[in-house]
Structure 1
């Protein structure tokens, strides 16, 4: 089992989260500038300023002492989560015209959407760069080997069978197979295969296995017990690389959405949720595997950051988009009191989730097991 120096967790965490927070907030900032909105503050981290400066446009750029996120506070915002300042309408006309609340709803929605969208674009750029450097691996969805006694063996799949569909979803590459099966909690799957020019459909139940990685982390996933044929690496140009990066990003977005849906419906335990401490742990682990692994992990976290920020919670970008959608449909903003209560609810939800994931994260470091051994 590989050991990770404790200091590496913090360094790798800052390397992962710092650029991603900057990318997310810069998306808000640059689209705000394009829309003619003045930014008062651009902050990486929360709390008291460690260092910073003010540019010629009057925007304060700073780094806060709590490195768990960031924010852009536009003119007319009351706070870091962009609640409107009740006094924004009393600003001088020239300043009011460049405030966030004074903009038409489509501009405000575009500025809000720009943050998560930039996270997705950042991930696409990373995956595209990998494709340019290493080529695109193409592995046909053809069975190269079958594990004895596995679900595939019991269903009488054969070496050479081509997996065409899983639960109605077309399979183009072998890596689509574990993506379609691994996180579906072992439920029965309907598989369409091509064998000898004929098409067949059969149903099998994947087996859930618990795997331990080289760092001692345990994870459950479902498998059907097949292995691929050898992959083929193809050199690609910029357009093909962007296409591959977009497809890879979309696949991870769908996987994230599926897992989140399982949490919401109770199919997956909240014990599986992770937060900043787990990201720090995984960042340190990826750093020990090399620069390429760490950069790939940054892309993965960027996708998760963009996805989570689109959730319809008032503290998050998705909550702001929900209010903007209400305003676009009703032709007037939601009542201020309703917005206040919604933000309080969102704050309570976010704090509760942070407590849950922190409890889980401490468990992933083995803290609760050590306490149990001491008590026992």
Structure 2
């Protein structure tokens, strides 16, 4: 329950900040271009706090903090006094209206730059891009990538962490570039390097499948399956296991790594399994009824024992992506541009069917990501905010009526024609835009529900 409340709180914070800043972009540019703003509201619904400025603009903090809006003087929405008519939005020349509408998405992009800059200055910890043994049928295996090698560059671009590597690989594959990997033989062997070409034949673009097809996953040091402590009341204690016992096999299949064993246990709640183990000089065997717990609506198996982890082996794999404040400025701008292009290309691939529509996140998934990133730390949460801000900007710039991009399209056509489109065409466009938004929202909610039920 605490996790749910935390996710909901951080979701509200994230959406409130991002949408309010989007609306502030419209507000700020409208004011600078001489358009009268009647109300700037953060949130919807019943006003909680209201303040009226010297210019008559009403500033509102409303009860539902999921967004906001800017209400401008407009003759299409009500009567306007003759002396105020020059300040009405609809009376402005097309270029002014274009700038006012574009200011919202631009504000989101500027906010993304600021958040990416914060992430780069604060530093984001991660793992060095050391490779696990690739599956036999994968692109990495065909190219000859070996376990323990470190990926230094992709197509000449340096990578320091797995987070950077995954983003860069997705970017290059979506753009249908071939992949050139510069590899280092091992973490402690910087002088031994080589370059491999990775064929994209048979590699699916969809992020759900891409990294499996490439066969690139983070290296995980082998953790010996030796029990250090037994949890009171757990399956291991009830079966008679003790500290120091080394697991050898389950149902005849060898157990050589604790992580592989733990993964199997989680997938088999309530199952009885025969475990062979070594205690001192003896080899023993016991039937164990695995325990089970419920997490996020799913039943997971529990063995009820812990092991000691060699922290030094993991420390050798840790890395941090950090830049000085000045160097972080162009890097943040570049990252915002690249993520914008990647988001746009992913939208395009969805329409061609190359990327699954399951990648469209609904509010529940976004809330979960908000809570999870906030629990990691400020840098992770700022990175989350930057990515969502980019997504909001790109979505709003799509040339769909009712979105900012649709208004920009209509205004651009008006500038070219010298006259606005007919009311009939604009009305048809509005109906299309509302239908598109309804389908998109329905898809997002469906994905959320499918994930919960599944």
TM over 0.5: yes
CA distance in 2, matches of 1:331, 1:255: 35
SS at match of 2:199: strand
Return 326-335 or 175-184, whichever deviates more: 175-184
Q: Tell me which residue corresponds to 2:142.
A: 154
Residue 338 of structure 1: aligned partner: 425
Distance in 1 separating the partners of 2:352 and 2:172: 13
Corresponding residue for residue 133 of structure 1: 122
1:27 aligns with 2:16: no
Unpaired runs of 5+ residues, structure 1, are 78-83, 212-218, 370-376
For residues 426 and 366 of structure 2, the distance between their equivalents in structure 1, rounded to whole angstroms, comes to 32
Match among 337, 348, 358 for residue 271 of structure 1: 358
What is residue 96 of structure 1 aligned with on the other side?
85
> Residues 266-305 of structure 1: matches in 2 within 5 Å?
266-305=353-392
* 2:407 equivalent among 315, 320, 341: 320
Secondary structure of 2:431's counterpart equals: helix
For 2:199, the equivalent position in structure 1 comes to 203
Aligned residue pairs, count: 341
Q: Describe the superposition over 1:91-143 as per-residue Cα deviations: whole angstroms up to 9, x where unpaired.
A: 40x31111111111111111111111111111111111232333999x8xxx8
- SS of structure 2 residue aligned to 1:69: strand
The structure having more radius of gyration, on CA atoms, is 2
C-alpha displacement at 1:6, in angstroms? 2.1
> Matched residues in 2 for 1:117 and 1:172: separation?
29
Any gaps of 5 or more consecutive residues in structure 2?
Answer: 184-191, 220-316
- Give the distance between the partners of 1:185 and 1:328, measured in 2 at CA: 38
Q: 1:172 to 1:334 in 2, by over 3 A?
A: farther
Cα pair distance change 1:192/1:209, threshold 3 Å: closer
1:175-194 maps to which residues of 2 (within 5 A)? 177-182=165-170, 190-192=178-180
Partner of residue 312, structure 2: none
Q: Is the 8 A contact 1:38 1:98 kept in 2?
A: yes
Matches of 2:438 and 2:151, distance apart in 1: 49
Root-mean-square deviation (Å): 3.6
Q: For residues 177 and 347 of structure 1, what CA distance do their matches in structure 2 show?
A: 38
- 1:318 and 1:125 map into 2 onto residues whose CA distance is 23
Alignment of 1:85 with 2:77, yes or no, is yes
Q: In the aligned structure 1, how far is the partner of 2:398 from the partner of 2:348?
A: 12
Q: Is the 8 A contact 2:101 2:408 kept in 1?
A: yes
1:107 aligns with 2:105: no
Asked whether the equivalents of residues 25 and 70 of structure 1 are also in contact (C-alpha less than 8 Å), the reply is yes
- Segment drifting more, 98-107 vs 289-298: 289-298
Is residue 143–residue 197 contact of structure 2 (8 Å, CA) maintained in 1? Answer: no
Q: Of 421, 426, 441, which aligns to 1:354?
A: 441
Structure 2: how far apart are the matches of 1:147 and 1:209? 22
2 CA distance for matches of 1:64 and 1:273?
A: 28
Instruction: Give the structure-2-normalised TM-score.
Output: 0.65
Q: How far is 1:30 from its partner? A: 0.5
Match of 1:53 in 2: 51
